[in-house]
Structure 1
Amino acid sequence: MPYLPHQYDDDQTRWWVTHVVMPECEVWVAEEPGRSELHGFAAVKDDVLEHLYVAPEQRRRGVGSLLLEQARRVSPDRLTLRVFTRNTDARAFYERRGFQLLDENDGTRNEENEPDMTYRWTPPR
């Protein structure tokens, strides 16, 4: 997402993943067996999909779908997430998988000050 400001350096990001994301969330990574190349990861806290990232060169290969299915397994009744409004590819990905728009925000609730949207998935009844 090149439109986002680069607020943290790599060391700060590593610290945050190690000391915040890993202890507070259930985290899964997608990688090719026998290689150390990360294809993507997902992190869930309670019923919130906090992060789902797929490396650009791995998109449209099923990585995101596999990670999302794992997130749904640990939160089978409901899954909520936020996505930046400009991230139209991610919005389409979630909408195709049954997520419904709950609200929109002007960016005042995130540190990037970027307009975002809240989506929720519930299983079909």
Structure 2
Amino acid sequence: MTRALIRPAAAEDAAAIAHVHVTSREATMPYLPPRRRTDEQVVAWVRDIVLPGAAVWVAETDGAVVGYAAVADGVLDALYLLPGVRRQGIGTLLLRQAQAHCPAGLSLFVFQKNTGARAFYAHHGFTVADTNDGSRNMEREPDMTMRWEPVTNGTRTDG
């Protein structure tokens, strides 16, 4: 496991978060349509929409942002990592932060083709709540809602 620091995101993290977002999506979801937004537009989206509208945490290793998670209204809107730090426990740390922020439960949307993410979330106690033909997302890619709820008998559901 790589040693990572999880901390609340700040406005000055916008460019690094945008870089993680774009790099991760392009590396792990090649089936998505080509990106239509410039790097500057993605930074502005993070700065003006994501950071003010969600609880956002970044993962840092050696002082560099390598991942982030964003939660709004009980929904995990984003959990992205740079490809070089996957499978090192950093995603789990970010997910646990999101779960701690939403102790009553957490939902997320994931593309049906994103089998790696689906397996990650299932490993951490998420179950499929519904599926959709893609009509509810801008990529028009079939997706599903996954849901995590804490177990009330004291056992953990986060792997």
Within-5 A mapping of 1:15-94: 15-33=44-62, 35=63, 37-94=64-121
Matched, 1:3 2:3: no
Whole-Å separation in 2 of the counterparts to 1:67 and 1:105: 26
1:103 deviates by 0.6
SS at match of 2:43: helix
- In structure 2, the partner of 1:113 is 140
1:2 deviates by 1.6
1:77 deviates by 0.7
Letter in 1 for 2:31: Y
Whole-Å separation in 2 of the counterparts to 1:38 and 1:86: 27
Q: How many positions carry a matched residue from both structures?
A: 123
SS at match of 1:11: helix
Structure 1 unmatched runs, 5+? none
SS at match of 1:81: strand
TM-score by length of 2: 0.75
TM-score by length of 1: 0.95
Structure 2 unmatched runs, 5+? 1-28, 153-159
SS at match of 1:112: coil
- Cα deviation per residue 1:56-103 (whole Å; 9 max; x = unaligned)? 110000010000000011101110000011100000000011001011
1:8 deviates by 1.3
SS at match of 1:77: coil
Letter in 1 for 2:53: E
User: After TM superposition, which residue ranges in structure 1, 4 or more long, deviate above 2 angstroms?
Assistant: none
SS at match of 2:70: strand
